[in-house]
């Protein structure tokens, strides 16, 4: 990015204590002093620590301009604002309008990141495209993503996350998307939103900033959303598998590394995605609808899907040196997502035994025990050989499965017993076995993945 200091002053509506730098260029905006470099604007934010405490370090690292809510010494070039976070958001809005890129906003209870990655891969076949990096999808990460995009960006793909009502509305009004997509409505954060209905309403906030001529994309099989779209004026398109949707897919084949499907709109093409699961086909349909909206040919979109880069820890296949396959999906979890992957994993034809390691799904509130128990219908001893359950909430599932699984094939570990879990699992696994791991990020199952990779070299 490149912005003049005087443009920054105008954008954030602050008091300029850096007039001598008005015509100097700012080339990056950072709130982490470790990323500050020459010609950076440093934005101190309030978190566990007050970012204002790190202003001297930012200047030492090369920052030429600072935003501040406080009066600073005369030797510091700064712009005084009432709220540095709001100023960051205002600046991102200014830069977005200056660049003029088309904006795609993506939200949903599951699949946001994969859909973002697929959409960016499809759009990049014809346009200069930039996407949310990692999980920078909140009120800080989204404006930071905007300010990090190159000036020649034509398509900006933004992931929008939330915990509470009202958060997506802020992000949507900031980004004003041309196209908004909702992947699915699950149970993530139901503790704060009360019900799936509350979650659907929170996800529909993505239409708050959707341009009048914009398009909303929703799953065809979600009645909660269908009831809500009657209140919006923008065009609505839908997606689904074996259903009457704007874009519908028929799955042709599925292996652990590849899923192939056909669609009703592009009848001549067989699309392939380098990930497993019908749920990922639905994510791909969103990407195809978006690419089609912008006039990208089916053949180019096919190439984009075949070669897309998946963000780390999202249904990632790994392999130990002694031949154990690991399906790692440890970044996040909710009941809908866990059931989808379990069903897909159960149906896979694999050479060795199948192990699953499931950790607590967090933020489910009063419904937590019931929702953990509901996973039982998706675990069958006919398809899964060994089950490891980890965390206090998983005790509800353990009690249900105790009479269904053969003796010695079901294991439960408290949250304090991660070491015991790792060691027992590691001893049981043999070459050609496959283990699937899924839990909320707070359960730290990534440590189990790392342990297996290290101890089976």
Number of domains making up the chain: 3
240 annotated as ligand-binding:
no
Q: What's the CATH number where 364 sits?
A: 3.90.190.20
Please identify which residue in the block is written with the tokens 């690419």: 291
14 annotated as ligand-binding:
no
Question: Sorting pLDDT into bands at 50, 70 and 90, what band is 189?
Answer: confident
Residues 329, 300 share a domain: no
Residues 222, 164 share a domain: yes
Q: What's the CATH number where 28 sits?
A: 3.40.1390.10
Residues 48, 175 share a domain: no
Q: How far is CA 13 from CA 76, 173, 314, in A?
A: 19, 18, 40
When the pLDDT of each residue in the chain is averaged and rounded to a whole number, the result is 94
> Which whole number is the average pLDDT over 117-127?
98
Q: How far is 59 from 134, CA to CA, in rounded Å?
A: 27
Spatial neighbors of 412 by CB under 8 A, at least 6 apart, are 389, 390, 394, 395, 398
Residue 106 forms part of a structural domain: yes
Q: What's the CATH number where 252 sits?
A: 3.40.1190.10
Residue 280 forms part of a structural domain: yes
Residue 336 forms part of a structural domain: yes
Question: Sorting pLDDT into bands at 50, 70 and 90, what band is 243?
Answer: confident
Residue 95 forms part of a structural domain: no
Residue 175 forms part of a structural domain: yes
The answer to whether residue 429 scores a pLDDT higher than 90 is yes
68 annotated as ligand-binding:
no
Residues 225, 372 share a domain: no
444 annotated as ligand-binding:
no
Q: Which of residues 20, 51, 82 is at a domain's end?
A: 82
The answer to whether residue 26 scores a pLDDT higher than 80 is yes
The answer to whether residue 30 scores a pLDDT higher than 80 is yes
The pLDDT of residue 83 is 97
Residue 297 forms part of a structural domain: yes
Question: What domain range includes position 424?
Answer: 316-455
112 annotated as ligand-binding:
yes
Residues 241, 301 share a domain: yes
111 annotated as ligand-binding:
yes
> Which whole number is the average pLDDT over 186-203?
84
Question: Sorting pLDDT into bands at 50, 70 and 90, what band is 78?
Answer: very high
Q: Positive or negative CA dihedral for 392, 192, 444, 439?
A: positive
Residues 174, 129 share a domain: yes
Residues 288, 177 share a domain: yes
Residues 442, 377 share a domain: yes
Residues 109, 76 share a domain: no
> Which whole number is the average pLDDT over 95-109?
97
> Which whole number is the average pLDDT over 263-269?
95
The three-state secondary structure class of 355 is strand
Residues 277, 144 share a domain: yes
Q: Which of residues 306, 340, 368 is at a domain's end?
A: 306
Q: If we measure between CA atoms, which residue out of 57, 26, 66, 156 comes closest to residue 104?
A: 156
Question: Sorting pLDDT into bands at 50, 70 and 90, what band is 68?
Answer: very high
The answer to whether residue 146 scores a pLDDT higher than 90 is yes
The pLDDT of residue 313 is 59
Residue 451 forms part of a structural domain: yes
263 annotated as ligand-binding:
no
Residue 311 forms part of a structural domain: no
Residues 448, 326 share a domain: yes
List pLDDT tens digits, range 302-328: 999 999 988 775 678 999 999 999 999
Residues 67, 35 share a domain: yes
With beta carbons less than 8 A apart as the criterion, state whether 203 and 107 touch.
Answer: yes
The answer to whether residue 331 scores a pLDDT higher than 90 is no
Q: Which of residues 82, 117, 132 is at a domain's end?
A: 82
List pLDDT tens digits, range 348-399: 999 999 999 999 999 898 889 999 999 999 999 999 999 999 999 999 999 9
DSSP 142-197: HHHHHHHS-TT-SEEEEE---SSTTHHHHHHHHH--SEEEE-----TTHHHH-SHH
Higher-pLDDT residue of 278 and 216 is 216
State if pTM tops 0.85.
yes
């Amino acid at each position: 990015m490149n912005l003049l200091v005087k443009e920054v002053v105008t954008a954030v509506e602050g008091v300029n204590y850096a007039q001598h730098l008005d015509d100097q260029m700012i080339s990056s905006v950072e709130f982490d002093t470790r990323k500050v470099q020459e010609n950076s604007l440093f934005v101190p934010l309030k978190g566990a620590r007050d970012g204002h405490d790190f202003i001297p370090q930012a200047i030492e690292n090369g920052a030429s301009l600072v935003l501040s809510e406080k009066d600073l010494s005369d030797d510091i070039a700064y712009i005084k604002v009432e709220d540095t976070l709001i100023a960051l958001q205002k600046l991102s809005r200014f830069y977005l309008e200056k660049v003029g890129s088309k904006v795609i906003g993506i939200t949903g209870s599951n699949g946001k990141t994969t859909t973002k990655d697929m959409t960016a891969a499809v759009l990049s076949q014809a346009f200069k495209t930039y996407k949310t990096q990692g999980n920078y999808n909140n009120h800080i990460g989204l404006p930071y993503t905007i300010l990090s995009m190159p000036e020649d960006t034509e398509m900006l793909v933004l992931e929008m996350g939330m915990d509470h009502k009202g958060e997506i509305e802020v992000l949507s009004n900031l980004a004003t998307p041309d196209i908004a997509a909702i992947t699915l409505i699950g149970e993530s954060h139901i503790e704060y939103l009360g019900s799936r209905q509350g979650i659907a309403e929170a996800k529909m906030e993505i239409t708050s900033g959707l341009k009048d001529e914009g398009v909303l994309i929703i799953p065809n099989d979600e009645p909660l959303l269908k009831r809500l779209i009657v209140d919006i004026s923008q065009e609505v398109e839908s997606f689904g598998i074996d259903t009457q949707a704007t874009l519908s897919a028929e799955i042709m084949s599925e292996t652990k590394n590849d899923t192939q499907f056909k669609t009703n709109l592009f009848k001549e093409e067989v699309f392939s995605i380098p990930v497993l699961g019908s749920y990922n086909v639905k994510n791909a349909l969103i990407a195809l609808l978006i690419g089609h909206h912008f006039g990208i040919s089916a053949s180019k979109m096919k190439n984009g899907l075949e070669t897309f880069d998946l963000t780390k820890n999202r249904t990632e296949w790994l392999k130990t040196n002694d031949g154990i396959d690991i399906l790692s999906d440890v970044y996040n979890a909710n009941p809908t997502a866990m059931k989808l992957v379990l069903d897909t994993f159960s149906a896979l034809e694999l050479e060795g035994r199948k192990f699953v390691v499931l950790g607590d799904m967090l933020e489910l509130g009063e419904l937590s025990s019931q929702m953990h128990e509901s996973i039982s219908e998706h675990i069958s001893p006919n398809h899964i050989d060994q089950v490891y359950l980890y965390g206090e909430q998983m005790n509800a599932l353990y009690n249900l499965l105790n009479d269904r699984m053969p003796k010695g094939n079901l294991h439960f570990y408290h949250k304090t017993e991660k070491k015991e879990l790792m060691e027992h699992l590691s001893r049981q696994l043999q070459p050609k076995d496959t283990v699937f791991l899924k839990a909320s990020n707070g359960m730290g199952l990534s440590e189990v993945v790392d342990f297996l990779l290290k101890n089976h070299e």
